Amino acid sequence: MTAEPLPVMEKDYFDYAKQDCAEFEIKHLAQALCISEIGDDAVVLLNPMVIWPDGEWEAWFFSNSSPGATRYRSFADWMCEELDQPLERTPVPGELPIVYLDAPTKPERRIRRREKVPELSKVLKKLKSDDWWERCKATHQLGRLGVKEAVDALIEALNDPTPEVTWHAASSLELLHPPEALEALMAEAAEGLRPPDPDAISELEKNKDPYAQALLEQMKRGGFGANTSAVGALAAYDDEPSAQLLLKLLEGGGYCAGVAAHALVKRKDTRAFKPMFDSLLSKAKNKNETWHTLTEFEGASYDLLEPLTGHADVEIRGRVEKCIGSLAHHAKDRVIRRKAYELLQRCLETETDAELRSALEISIQISAKKNLK
């Protein structure tokens, strides 16, 4: 990750309302000041490499439960979110923080220059490089530029012979979601519906190497090698043809099913609910599980999960309890969050399996801070 450039411009990176926690200045982690104990495999950090004009240091919530750092303009911003209270501060339009290049221990710290907009002609030239990583970086820069020539080049880059380049191109198109890219993205995503190659499966079956066997399991699920970034990019659209494609990928339960599930959730397409629920109750092998995504529908998922807490099958009951735990900790609706927390406590009173009881106790402990205020 350290070698990859951030896929967003500086002005967008510091728009915390639109952030992606997987995209953060990982080098800043070494200089961050930990101001909390470790709780639920998480810490609160202050970042002295990013300081706003009023002197506030950027704050990070860094945990094992997310793929990166959830960043805040200040400690106060983080605290207000934890307490579900509004922050009484009016943002200054166009304001950016000072970003330092040197650690705070240096007497004279260098300040990073404001980011320059890449030149389109140079980026297009880089896109024709023999070095596939240079082409990947070019797709990131084209996504930042967003002009018509950049979009056309990104659509063309979906045909690049190197999969990494096509994945990065699709990710940039997701940020831009131009109408003219939809057909090309759908074509890439539709590869996930292709059945696995029998010859490739036959070769892998002969190979007893653990890595080969892992690939074999993925291929048997179908859609292995498809451009999952293109599947995810369809989340940015709201048309019916791409919705139908996502539903087919989800219902197929193959390699791309999980990505399709998240894309449909982002689109707020409730038709995704039934396949996810079917996944919860299914014990079929060689099928990707998408039941984890059920909780994104919050109230609707709670209503279906509650009657299943007494399910006779231990494995399915464990899944149900995991989903309820997720609602108790992550649900945005405070009422649903509290109801899920109380349901966890009732589950603990009736649960007979020792392993599930232990998991329930941990879930209750984790979600207590969000519900006992």
Among 184-193, 304-313, 343-352, the minimum mean pLDDT is found in 184-193
Average pLDDT taken over every residue of the chain: 87
Domains and CATH numbers, the chain: 10-99 (no CATH), 117-176 (1.25.10.10), 188-269 (no CATH), 294-373 (no CATH)
- Residue 308: how many CB atoms within 10 A of its CB? 18
- Calpha distance 181→296 (Å, rounded): 27
* Interval 80-92 mean pLDDT: 82
pLDDT of 214 strictly over 70: no
Distance of alpha carbon 102 from the chain centroid: 30
- Calpha distance 261→367 (Å, rounded): 25
Confidence band, pLDDT 50/70/90 cuts, at residue 4: low
pLDDT at residue 200, as a whole number: 63
CA distances from 265 to 183, 293, 302, 370 (A): 21, 8, 16, 24
What single string gives the DSSP state of each residue in 280-328? HH---SS----GGGGGGGTHHHHHHHGGGGG-S-HHHHHHHHHHHHHHH
SS3 111: strand
- Calpha distance 60→64 (Å, rounded): 13
Higher-pLDDT residue of 23, 32:
32
Rounded to the nearest 5 degrees, what angle is found at the Cα of 165, between the Cα atoms of 164 and 170?
100
233-290, pLDDT tens digit by residue? 999 999 999 999 999 999 988 778 899 999 999 999 999 999 999 999 998 775 678 8
pLDDT at residue 75, as a whole number: 96
Which parts of the chain are beta strand (E)?
33-34, 42-51, 57-63, 69-72, 98-99
* Interval 42-49 mean pLDDT: 95
pLDDT at residue 1, as a whole number: 46
pLDDT at residue 201, as a whole number: 64
Token pair 């984790």: residue: 366
pLDDT at residue 213, as a whole number: 66
pLDDT of 46 strictly over 80: yes
pLDDT at residue 91, as a whole number: 75
The answer to whether 347 touches 331, Cβ cutoff 8 Å, is: no
Cross-strand bridge partners of residue 39? 42
pLDDT at residue 287, as a whole number: 65
pLDDT of 2 strictly over 60: no
Token pair 């990583």: residue: 133
Query: Mean pLDDT: which of 51-55, 221-225, 226-230, 251-255 is highest?
Result: 51-55
Confidence band, pLDDT 50/70/90 cuts, at residue 11: confident
pLDDT of 204 strictly over 90: no
292-327, pLDDT tens digit by residue? 899 999 999 999 999 999 999 999 999 999 999 999
pLDDT at residue 352, as a whole number: 93
Q: Which amino acid is at 5?
A: P
- Record the tokens describing residue 71, joined without a space: 């960043």
**Cβ neighbours of residue 228 under 8 Å, at least 6 residues apart?**
167, 192, 255, 256, 259
- Calpha distance 9→116 (Å, rounded): 9
135-179, pLDDT tens digit by residue? 998 998 898 788 899 999 999 999 999 988 999 999 899 888 999
- Record the tokens describing residue 103, joined without a space: 């650690």
pLDDT at residue 140, as a whole number: 86
pTM over 0.75: no
| Secondary structure percentages of the chain, helix, strand, coil, to 5 | 60, 10, 35
